[in-house]
Amino acid sequence: MAGLFDTLGISGTGLTVHRKWMDAIADNLSNVNDTVPGDQPAFAERYVQAAAAPGGGVQVVGVRYGSSAGIESYDPQNPLADANGYVRHADVDVTGQMTQMIMAQRGYEANLSVLSRATEAYQQALQLGNK
């Protein structure tokens, strides 16, 4: 039988993955208005890839990047404009990122609540026979 200390470790991996996911979302949202010269790649959204860890829990197995095409616009007045007068804006899907942020936050909270429930269960077990 898996002990309660395993449960703690497993919720710990859940916390870490959801925190990294939140980090990626924060990074994506903070770069929402990045602008680069038209001949350079725009900011690409970062996605955290999670998978079940062997022996229990979850782990980050990699990072994937979205398209760096961005949105090209003609703006010769912009000091960042390339030789042809083009700049490239980041094309971050803000709505999608906000949705993901809620999911990541819910996931983090769920893992924290498992942690505290497991703690309570363990403390109940420690009271066995002490009534």
Position 49, amino acid: Q
For residue 51, the cross-strand partners are: 59
Cβ-based nearer residue to other proteins, 28 or 35: 28
Instruction: In angstroms, give the least distance from the CB of 131 to other proteins.
Output: 11
Residue with smaller CB distance to other proteins, 5 or 74: 5
- Token look-up 């979302």 returns 25
Locate 78 and state its tokens: 């912009």
CB of 128 to other proteins, least distance (A): 4
Q: Token pair for residue 128?
A: 């066995």
List Cβ neighbours of 12 (8 Å cut-off, separation of 6 or more).
57, 111, 115
In whole angstroms, the minimum distance from the beta carbon of 130 to other proteins comes to 9
Of 42 and 58, CB closest to other proteins: 58
For binding to other proteins (CB under 8 A), which residues are involved? 1-5, 8-9, 11-12, 15-16, 19, 112, 115, 119, 122-123, 125-126, 128-129
Strands 86-89 and 35-37: antiparallel
Q: Which is nearer to other proteins, 2 or 83 (CB)?
A: 2
Q: How far is the CB of 119 from other proteins (least distance, A)?
A: 6
The answer to whether residues 60 and 50 touch, using CB atoms and an 8 Å cutoff, is yes
